[in-house]
Amino acid sequence: MSITRRDFVKNTSIAFAGLALPATNILDTKDAAPVKIGVIGVGLRGQNHLENLLRRKDVEVVAICDVDDRMLGMSKDLIQKSGKAMPKVFTGDNYAYRNLLQTKNLDGIIIATPWEWHTPMILDALSAGLKYVATEVILGITLQDHWNVVNAAEVHNANVMMLENVCYRRDVMAILNMVRKGMFGELIHLQGGYQHDLRGVKLNDGKTAYNSGVEFGEKAFSEARWRTNHSVHRNGDLYPTHGVGPLAMMIDINRGNRFQSLCSFSSKTRGLHNYIVKKGGENHPNAKVEFKLGDVVTTNIKCANGETILLQHDTSSPRPYSLGFRVQGTNGLWMDVNHSLYIEGVSQKNDQWEEAQSYLDKYDHPLWARWSKDTEGAGHGGMDFFVLQAFIESIKRKTPTPMDVYDAAAWSAITPLSESSIEMGSQTVDFPDFTSGKWMTTKNNFALTNEY
Ligand SMILES: NC(=O)c1ccc[n+]([C@@H]2O[C@H](COP(=O)([O-])OP(=O)(O)OC[C@H]3O[C@@H](n4cnc5c(N)ncnc54)[C@H](O)[C@@H]3O)[C@@H](O)[C@H]2O)c1
């Protein structure tokens, strides 16, 4: 006889409390029902998640929702090819997702819609009684959005996890491992960012997602349909979490440390306009659009334990992709751009960079050592497997998600705070404490084992 996920978790949670069971064991239990997941927003990112969900034996995708027929068609194809049952499809208008939230026995949802929809969808999901809500980056638009999500998660005693996949990047996790072993000494300065030429993503021809034209908004497809508008109207670090999430875990943000203040500087704005003129001609109507977002936005953050973080948002200029990580302590540093590190007394030659790879191999994180086979084909070099695994395993074990609502709020609130700072002439602004003091006593338990 099969039982529902909620019953199963209820009946077995006591048994799990003192045991660190391997992830797959839960599934091996004959009566364990698969985790029932709904996906809101099955655009290009939602389809990545869908594919990874469909590969798992412990998940049943019971509902999907989108407002775009083409995206729904692509998603249905993926489901058909997987041989799994077709989930219930919700569509028709922007609030069709509210009907999805009423699906019986839903264990969790994944939100992969445009940024402006994340907060309302999370709040509605929590009101509907969902205890596990995963959202793509970012959490909200305004600072108040972030508070609203934190407050609602507390009121409903629910988990809101931002799917920050870069926290699980293999090199980043090896460096986290080295940080925890004290190899860099005491950390003092960190750098990261989102440095990705998105001109061909923010502008397209309405049919092909990448490098195909210079339209945005209604006439465009996928991200160019909505993301570009943020570059028209906002100036700040619009995408801070890929850079800051992994760094925050290395210096125990919200777990003994916290972001205290921030200031941002914005460069002049040229890239998107120049791209439109180059590809579409100076008479193209979009050549008249004034983009507010500076081409390079640089943010400095001061932390309670004395570290500084430098973040860069750089999405409108020709440049190879790089998140630009630098992790520096009293003994040495790692930088990802030159694939190198230097550790005093350990590196062979004084004052000379050393290839990082042998260290990355030696200090491979236990999660990667255990699961790397399962990551094959999972997207973004395998890190997408881990972020989803973390969400699903938390549901199965009825435990808090390893990245919580306070992480999501602190990392994502950098956007509205950097906008405020820039608007006030790059003044330093205080960082709110979303944890209301809990950061002082919470311990860092992110990725401590090879479980999830
Ligand atoms: N973590 C990563 O590596 C990564 C990579 C890409 C995108 N993302 C994030 O994923 C999210 C989605 O990005 P994307 O690239 O899939 O964009 P996309 O435009 O391809 O997909 C968004 C989908 O949401 C749908 N949608 C819009 N309003 C809706 C509503 N009210 N109800 C239901 N569906 C609605 C759209 O029709 C579209 O299909 C964004 O937050 C983005 O930043 C993250």
Instruction: Label residue 434 by pLDDT band (50, 70, 90).
Output: very high
Cα(50) to centroid of ligand 1, in Å?
A: 12
For residue 8, pLDDT over 50 is answered with no
Residue ranges of alpha helices (H) inside 20-138 are 25-28, 44-55, 69-82, 97-100, 115-127
Residue-level pLDDT at 2: 35
Q: Indicate whether residue 378 lines ligand 1 (CB < 6 A).
A: no
The answer, yes or no, to whether the previous bond of 395 is cis (omega within 30 of 0) is no
CA 406 to ligand 1 centroid distance, Å:
22
Q: How far is CA 280 from CA 194, 205, 222, 334, in A?
A: 26, 11, 19, 41
Token pair in block for residue 142: 């305004």
- Mutate which of 42, 45, 202 for ligand 1? The one with the most ligand atoms within 8 Å of its CB, which is 45
The residue to mutate among 66, 76, 135, 215, having the most atoms of ligand 1 within 8 angstroms of its beta carbon, is: 66
Which residue has a Cα nearest atom 14 of ligand 1? 45
93-108 pLDDT per residue, tens = 999 999 999 999 999 9
Amino acid at 259: F
pLDDT surpassing 70 at residue 9:
no
Query: pLDDT over 90 for what percent of the chain?
Result: 92
Q: Is residue 143 within 8 Å of residue 72, measured between CB atoms?
A: no
Q: Please state the rounded mean pLDDT for residues 163-172.
A: 98
Q: How many Cβ atoms from other residues are within 10 Å of residue 28's Cβ?
A: 10
Query: Could you tell me if the CB of 97 is within 6 A of ligand 1?
Result: yes
Question: Residue 42 C-alpha to ligand 1 middle, in angstroms?
Answer: 7
- Cα distance between the two ends of the chain: 29
CB of residue 383 inside a 6 A radius of ligand 1: no
**What are the pLDDT digits (tens) for 257-311?**
999 999 999 999 999 999 999 999 999 999 999 999 999 999 999 999 999 999 9
Instruction: Look at residue 239 in the predicted model and tell me its pLDDT.
Output: 98
Mean pLDDT, rounded, of the chain: 93
Predicted pLDDT at 377? 81
Helix/strand/coil percent split, the chain, to 5: 40, 20, 40
pLDDT for 23 equals 41
Residue nearest to ligand 1 atom 19, measured at CA? 222
Ligand 1 center–CA 64 separation, angstroms: 13
pLDDT in tens, 70-99: 999 999 999 999 999 999 999 999 999 999
Checking if the pLDDT of 29 tops 70, the result is no
Q: E-strand spans in 166-307? A: 187-195, 259-266, 296-303
Reported confidence tier of residue 14, pLDDT bands at 50, 70, 90: very low
Which pTM does this prediction carry? Answer: 0.94
Q: Give the range among 220-224, 372-376, 442-446 with minimum mean pLDDT.
A: 372-376
Q: What is residue 37's DSSP assignment?
A: E
CB 449 within 8 A of CB 287: no
CB of residue 43 inside a 6 A radius of ligand 1:
yes
| Domains of the chain with CATH codes | 5-166 (3.40.50.720), 168-366+404-440 (3.30.360.10)
Kindly tell me the burial class for residue 433, based on how many C-beta atoms sit within 10 Å of its own C-beta (0-12, 13-18, 19 or more).
middle
Token code pair at residue 157: 């005693």
Element (H, E) at 393: helix 383-397
Confidence of residue 31 (pLDDT cuts 50, 70, 90): low
- Is the C-beta atom of 432 inside 6 A of ligand 1? no
Predicted pLDDT of residue 6: 36
- Whether 221 lines ligand 1, by a CB cut-off of 6 Å, is no
pLDDT in tens, 185-204: 999 999 999 999 999 999 99
Instruction: Tell me the pLDDT band of 5, cut-offs 50, 70 and 90.
Output: very low
User: Out of 29-43, 130-144, 329-343, 403-417, which region has the weakest mean confidence (pLDDT)?
Assistant: 29-43
